[in-house]
Chain A
């Protein structure tokens, strides 16, 4: 490998996912490509139903049976050429060992009838060939480093006896047990108290810098993404509509959708009783995709061309800042 290029942990090429429902087919993810470098964080931002969760679940083969990944999709991971070519058995050696995931709701992602210690120990027993005693010791250490007080007692407790924040720490301990190279965090703080959110994100950032782990952070909060990620991809209607390094995106938004998202974040310096900006209209129906730009019906800058022709991702002045818009912000329309 060329030394001047940083190592790529993950390369996703032309990923498309269709979901078959009883009466139609939904194009949930539409031709998405991105790279993720070692030790970096990519934030995927989008509103509900934009396909960000499906995108990540398809990397770990966690999609429901009704979802079909397109044949031309390629997922290249660190050393393995193409994850989609692996058999289920081979894939299970990577899943949980090299790629791990944290889910949105910690209360429902932990098994209610199994002690949390055992749930953390499972992947150690399975992937690392540890015996029970070694695993228990390691788990208690892990729980301690996740900031869980009294890990020896917590080990034998059930999820319903723990708070949401502790549960999410347990979920993170599960994900990080085998020191994965890539962590996919699917809205890890959405179900938590605001005060706990920052702690969890700090914990993730700390562990990430310690282990040079790459991370995909899925969030609907552009503010979180800008603060925590190196690179941001904005998803809308199953497509990436803008992607740039975090500071570049923050200072130089090109896509009207991203600006609308940005405007809908409540700000501390807003005077009291300011009306919060929101995006008018509904997200598009993915069962019947529009011909032109999918954001056009909700876009204040839309013109005839936007409805007729679909804009493709293209770089602007800076090469690493791409966006899919005919009339981007900052260019005369």
Chain B
């Protein structure tokens, strides 16, 4: 187990180095400059140079990256060039919003994908299966922002059940907070469940052909019990892999959905920082997203071994 963790930690460090170096380089190549923006309209060339020097932008890029890396390693992510807000604080303020959106949307997506995936695998080839698949394909082909607008139109403008935009913090009430996430969560889930459902369906169909399903049937167990207790667990490995990737994406921020529903998440922070050439914020966000990605992958690996004892015992030896 220690070796396993050590390997993962090593990989985390390698990935962080690679990703932050690449983003540093890419942000550097972007046209435009924070110094010009800060100096404002009509500033002289000397003023801009002075600001550059002040922010340390005139140094060599390798040196700048190394300095940033040393600071980051000590937990100092610096301050935003534009707002002077500490980067760590900015991220930790946005983080709960992003995580809540991620959890709610994935929950909805799974709540749709698992039952429909099971039904359509069990009834594969029948009209029920075809209907579910057609439905899944049609929602998959709708872009998230169109889905979001449709949902706003239906649930906010027509019946006025849910707020169209805006974020209510948890401190102002649990239900109000959840309410502000329902539509954004659904717009992500309604597009995503189709993928998850298709994946579960195809794995489930092959599981249902296994001998141990016949054995379970020969015990006289009810079909629903067999599907959930015998067939679901061995069928959800690909599902979990894909889910891990989706969760990773969402940690990076569901930019479009956050924008439409005016949710202050990581995605909108990152976008604003890129537009403003706010290097420290961009680097901070990317660092955080990278760590989150690697952690999620780690959890997916752990989940595999919880679900399948064969993997568990392999790791032990």
Stretch at the interface among B146-154, B219-227, B280-288: B219-227
B219 with A112: CB separation less than 8 A:
no
A interface residues with partner B (beta carbon < 8 Å) = 57, 60-62, 65, 88, 91-97, 100-101, 103, 105, 108-114, 122-123, 126-127, 158, 160-161, 171, 174-175
Contact of B218 among A60, A88, A105 (CB under 8 A): A60
- In-complex Cβ contact of A96 among B211, B218, B234 (8 A): B218
Contact A123 B219, beta carbon cutoff 8 Å: yes
- Residue with the highest number of chain B CB atoms closer than 10 Å, among A61, A88, A103: A103
Q: Which residues of A contact B73 (CB under 8 A)?
A: none
Shortest distance between the CB of B222 and any CB in chain A (Å): 6
Q: Tell me whether B218 and A112 are in contact (CB under 8 A).
A: no
Query: Are A109 and B220 in contact, CB atoms less than 8 angstroms apart?
Result: no
Query: With A113-B308, A158-B310 as given contacts, are A101 and B218 in contact (CB-CB < 8 Å)?
Result: yes
Seed contacts A92-B220, A123-B220, A126-B219; 5 additional CB < 8 Å A-B pairs: A97-B220, A158-B309, A158-B310, A174-B219, A175-B218
A94:B220 contact, CB within 8 angstroms: yes
Known: A110-B215, A112-B234, A113-B234. A92 touches B222 (CB 8 A): yes
Q: Is the CB of B211 within 8 A of A103?
A: yes
Q: Knowing A112-B308, A112-B309, A158-B309, say if A126 contacts B221 (CB, 8 Å).
A: yes
Q: Is B59 an interface residue (CB 8 A)?
A: no
Chain B nearest CB from A80 CB (Å) reads 14
A163 to chain B, nearest CB (A): 15
Q: With an 8 A cutoff between CB atoms, is B230 at the interface?
A: yes
Looking at the assembled complex, report how far the CB atom of B232 sits from the nearest CB atom of chain A, in whole angstroms. Answer: 10
Q: Which residues of A contact B234 (CB under 8 A)?
A: 111-113
- Give the 5 A-B CB pairs with smallest separation, nearest first: A96-B220, A95-B220, A96-B219, A108-B211, A109-B211
Inter-chain CA distance A81–B300, complex, in Å, is: 52
With a cutoff of 8 Å between Cβ atoms, the chain B residues found around residue A111 in the complex are: 212, 215-216, 230, 234
Known A-B contacts A109-B211, A109-B212, A174-B215; the reply to A160 vs B220 at CB < 8 A is no
Q: Which residues of B contact A (CB under 8 A)?
A: 125, 210-212, 214-223, 229-230, 233-234, 307-310, 313
Task: Give the residue among B125, B219, B223, B229 with the most A Cβ atoms within 10 A.
Answer: B219
Q: Which of A92, A110, A171 contacts B221 (CB 8 A)?
A: A92
Are A96 and B212 neighbours in the complex by a CB distance under 8 Å? no
| Chain A residues closer than 8 Å to B222, beta-carbon distance | 92
CA distance A249 to B244 in the complex (A): 63
Q: How far is the CB of A216 from chain B (nearest CB, A)?
A: 13
Bound together, the chains give a CA A237 to CA B303 distance in angstroms of: 48
Sample of 12 A–B contacts (CB below 8 Å): A91-B220, A92-B220, A95-B220, A96-B221, A100-B219, A109-B214, A111-B212, A111-B230, A122-B221, A126-B220, A160-B309, A171-B215
CA distance A97 to B310 in the complex (A): 31
CA–CA, A158 and B305, complex, Å:
13
Minimum CB–CB distance from B169 to chain A (whole Å) comes to: 42
Alpha-carbon distance between A133 and B223 when the two chains are bound, in angstroms: 25
> Are B310 and A122 within 8 A (Cβ)?
no
A281 to chain B, nearest CB (A): 31
Q: Would A127 and B216 count as touching, CB distance under 8 A?
A: no
Contact of B211 with A105 in the complex, beta carbons under 8 Å: yes
- Cα A61 to Cα B220 with chains together (Å): 10
For the complex formed, measure the closest distance between the CB of B191 and the CB atoms of chain A, giving whole angstroms.
Answer: 31
* A113 lies within 8 A of B233 (CB): yes
